[in-house]
Amino acid sequence: MTDREEVLAVLGRLNDAWNAGDAAAYGRLFTEDADYVTFFGMQFPGRELIESSHRALFEGPLRGSKLVNGYGEARVRFPSKDVAIVVSGGGSSLSGGDVVEEGREVTVTFVLVRGDEGWLITAFQNTRVSDPRAA
């Protein structure tokens, strides 16, 4: 498997964990000191907080939601052999459908590092797509 394929496989497991509502599996894909920024601008530093915040979401307002990728081809760059930057589109369906619901389109940026555990996410930024002319 190429480095690109390995990195995208991590992101695939991230989607699978979200879609299963599995906060522990979701959190394990991040480094202990990861930074997670939501589309609301909230920052969750560290794997433990990322996991616990997602547990609350998966048990509450995002129960049964589904991540839907596919509104954009992922751009993957390797600034060094053990660092990957991925920028991709996607979105979610609160009803659990296979189509991104209106107003839930996002652009996401991931920074992954390769260590003893393989590739893990060390930084994540999620931005809601919007038209500034409509503001």
Asked if residues 120 and 11 have their Cβ atoms less than 8 Å apart, the reply is no
Average model confidence (pLDDT) across the chain? 92
Domains annotated for the chain, with CATH where assigned, are 3-134 (3.10.450.50)
Residue 97 pLDDT level (bands cut at 50, 70, 90): confident
Is 71 or 62 the better-scoring residue by pLDDT? 62
How distant, in Å, are the alpha carbons of 1, 21, 34, 77, 80 from that of 42?
35, 20, 14, 26, 29
- pLDDT tens, 110-120? 999 999 999 99
Which whole number is the average pLDDT over 36-53? 95
Residue 70 pLDDT level (bands cut at 50, 70, 90): low
